[in-house]
């Protein structure tokens, strides 16, 4: 099964797909993107992802005169061309190419790229036993800056934090700010369960408004679990009954260890398990 790539609507095999080295996504991370996965062959929560792509582009003042219709068309055409049973979809809009220079006015034609690869499910054991996370103290590239709230292609802080976490044998890095407040994972949002309540950092922590995070709010409300957006201090993670990560690719992934400390009873707790079950039912509906 080959990975298919669409560049401005031209679909090719991955090996043949090329973009110019002057593309600002390559030079500066001057781009926005979304990752979507399919369930039953259909892209899940595509409208929400396209809306967020639009908002991210607006945040970076990347103008999309034709709106989302072209990238939406590219996503569907590339999925059809790839023909995988389940797919990973990465949709990217870069500011495009131009003379080299930081001035965003040097490029005036955004470039659309869609990558469709076979979806590789995460190991079932991770859901049965939970994963480990490592806390990394840092600011976040998308934090309280001009880029705040956008899912931009500039992920260097997250890349380096994940490198630190992986060197410690952890699955995910959790970015903790200089005031010891928990923000989010390198590519995930974080929830904890304490005294029967679900807690998650607020958007004002400079985190990405995850689409899975938002779905969890709905599922928790339906299940009668109280959810609060609240500033979370790193020490609260150590006394949590349950912790889980949310992201498009992970769905709801229980956390077993924070650094060298066990979370709760050491195995996925009842809220994490129930929310995962319900999330999967909703995704397949």
Ligand X SMILES: Cc1ncc(COP(=O)(O)O)c(C=O)c1O
| Residues annotated as part of the active site | 151
Task: Decide whether 4 or 215 has the Cβ nearer to ligand X.
Answer: 215
Question: Among 72, 98, 255, 263, which residue's Cα sits nearest to residue 174?
Answer: 255
How near is the Cβ of 266 to ligand X at its closest, in Å?
25
Task: Decide whether 142 or 269 has the Cβ nearer to ligand X.
Answer: 142
| Owner of token pair 């923000």 | 183
Asked if residues 196 and 226 have their Cβ atoms less than 8 Å apart, the reply is yes
Asked if residues 45 and 38 have their Cβ atoms less than 8 Å apart, the reply is no
Task: Decide whether 82 or 162 has the Cβ nearer to ligand X.
Answer: 162
How near is the Cβ of 11 to ligand X at its closest, in Å?
24
Cα–Cα distance, 153 to 174 (Å, whole number)? 19
Question: Among 246, 253, 172, 183, which residue's Cα sits nearest to residue 213?
Answer: 246
Question: Among 248, 214, 241, 202, which residue's Cα sits nearest to residue 91?
Answer: 248
Element (DSSP H or E) covering residue 164: helix 156-167
* Residue ranges in contact with ligand X by CB under 6 A: 35, 158, 184, 187-189, 208, 210-213, 246-248
Element (DSSP H or E) covering residue 39: strand 31-39
How near is the Cβ of 263 to ligand X at its closest, in Å?
20
Sheet of 31-39, strand order: 10-13, 4-7, 111-118, 87-94, 31-39, 42-43
Cα–Cα distance, 168 to 220 (Å, whole number)? 32
How near is the Cβ of 249 to ligand X at its closest, in Å?
7
Structure tokens that stand for 165 in this block: 């976490």
Task: Decide whether 97 or 250 has the Cβ nearer to ligand X.
Answer: 250
How near is the Cβ of 26 to ligand X at its closest, in Å?
19
């Amino acid at each position: 099964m080959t990975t298919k790539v669409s560049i401005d609507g031209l679909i090719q095999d991955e090996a043949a797909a090329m973009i110019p080295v002057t593309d600002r996504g390559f030079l500066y991370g001057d781009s926005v993107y979304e990752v979507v996965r399919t369930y039953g062959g259909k892209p899940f929560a595509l409208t929400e992802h396209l809306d967020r792509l639009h908002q991210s582009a607006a945040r970076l003042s990347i103008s999309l005169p034709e709106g989302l219709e072209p990238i939406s068309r590219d996503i569907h055409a590339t999925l059809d061309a790839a023909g995988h049973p389940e797919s990973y979809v990465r949709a990217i809009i870069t500011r495009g190419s131009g003379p080299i220079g930081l001035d965003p006015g040097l490029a005036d034609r955004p470039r659309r790229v869609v990558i469709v690869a076979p979806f590789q499910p995460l190991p079932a054991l991770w859901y049965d036993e939970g994963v480990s996370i490592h806390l990394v103290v840092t600011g976040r590239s998308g934090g309280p800056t001009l880029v705040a709230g956008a899912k931009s292609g500039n992920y260097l802080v997250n890349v380096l934090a994940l490198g630190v976490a992986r060197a410690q044998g952890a699955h995910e890095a959790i970015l903790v700010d200089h005031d010891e407040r928990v923000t989010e994972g390198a590519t995930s949002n974080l929830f904890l369960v304490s005294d029967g309540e679900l807690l998650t950092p607020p958007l004002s922590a400079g985190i990405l408004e995850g689409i899975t995070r938002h779905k969890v709010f709905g599922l928790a409300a339906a299940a009668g679990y109280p959810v609060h957006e609240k500033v979370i201090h790193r020490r609260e993670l150590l006394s949590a009954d349950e912790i889980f990560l949310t992201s498009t690719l992970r769905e709801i992934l229980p956390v077993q260890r924070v650094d060298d400390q066990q979370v709760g009873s050491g195995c996925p707790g009842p809220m994490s398990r129930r929310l995962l079950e319900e999330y999967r039912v909703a995704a397949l509906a």
